[in-house]
Amino acid sequence: MNDTLFARTDLPEGFLDVSAREVHKLLPQPTLITCPGEREDALFVTILQHGNEDTGWRAVQALLREYRHRPLPRRLLLFVANVHAAREAVRHLPEQMDFNRAWPGTDHAPCVETSLMKAVHDAVAAQPLFAAIDVHNNTGSNPHYAAFNRLDRRCVQLARFFSNTMVYFEQPHGVMTQALAPHCPAVVLECGKVGNAAGTEHARAFIDACLNMPRIPDDPVGSHEVDLFHSVARLRLSSDAEFGFDTPHRALSLDPDIDKHNFQELPYGTVLGSIKGPIRDQLHVLDEAGNDATDRYLSADGGQLRLQRSVMPSMLTLDEEIVRQDCLCYFMERVTAQIS
């Protein structure tokens, strides 16, 4: 892959019918497609930032089939991202940086992927924008929810059209929603596990609503109206961690059904698994500023890994590869203030 942004103003023949694993045959590189519409303020949608998350691909295909013989209500800027990883059905290839950590504002050093995402950002930000959407799946048991980087009432109102469950986050850096938030309301759609038809339909319906929406409400939002959570910390493995699920012979053995805790408010003392030796040999907690907050959140009490405070986790997963590539989970706290 090179850092050239491929752009086109038409859909290649067969686009509406191929699987995500086959899209590379039609689009050999990440490509920004401009689809004309009746409103000029464009909706930007990015799909396949993670090659193994194809709900966005399926949702866009279903949507564009509906408009095959009539104009879109609004211009659509569609970024089909990691076609190479999609071919292998993996998050990203071993030699690649995670696309969803490479947008302007990233903490990572310049590379092919950061150059590519800057080119996408610059091309999109130069145009009149209505909103920006990034469609994802997750591997653990999570409800469908929307996430965003600004506690802005227009952003919260947009997210409400997808779900009353929503997450405000500041870390990690280098995500699309953070890069485009200064230009328009920008949200992540978390659509549950890959292959779930309900997730595909939910994403399709939301994108369709955004294409047809004349404006995004900007009324204040009371905390009683939504389930809004602030992601305050991230639980990551140490580089040489020895861990597994229900593996007592390893230094870190996590509960085999730990993802049942997603979006559940867990009290102080909740046991997450067993651990041998110092906690930081296996994992650590980083707060929003990237500082070590392990002792604030975790303790090793009699060989049990316990919470040191009440938290609500999200994105807990049983996929060991995802845990190593990204993180085990995020810790959240409920937002109680009005968004005004």
Q: Give 65's DSSP letter.
A: H
Q: Is there a single domain that holds both residue 180 and residue 273?
A: no
- Say yes or no to pLDDT of 3 above 80: no
Asked whether residue 220 is assigned to any structural domain, the reply reads: no
The SS3 assignment for 256 reads coil
How many helices (DSSP H) and strands (DSSP E) are in the chain? 8, 17
Domains of the chain: total: 2
Among the listed residues 125, 38, 127, the one whose alpha carbon sits nearest the alpha carbon of residue 75? 38
Q: What is the pLDDT of residues 241-255, one digit of tens each?
A: 999 999 999 999 999
Domain end, chosen from 212, 245, 263, is at 212
What's the pTM? Answer: 0.92
Q: Is there a single domain that holds both residue 171 and residue 272?
A: no
Distance CA 199, CA 205 (A): 10
- Say yes or no to pLDDT of 58 above 90: yes
Q: Is there a single domain that holds both residue 202 and residue 254?
A: no
Query: What pLDDT sits at residue 337?
Result: 78
Q: Is there a single domain that holds both residue 200 and residue 142?
A: yes
Asked whether residue 336 is assigned to any structural domain, the reply reads: no
Q: Is there a single domain that holds both residue 44 and residue 171?
A: yes
Q: Is there a single domain that holds both residue 238 and residue 196?
A: no
State the average pLDDT over residues 51-57.
Answer: 97
Calculate the average pLDDT of the chain: 94
Asked whether residue 1 is assigned to any structural domain, the reply reads: no
Which range of residues forms the domain containing residue 131? 6-212
Distance CA 260, CA 140 (A): 8
Distance CA 134, CA 136 (A): 7
Asked whether residue 84 is assigned to any structural domain, the reply reads: yes
- Say yes or no to pLDDT of 1 above 60: no
Asked whether residue 218 is assigned to any structural domain, the reply reads: no
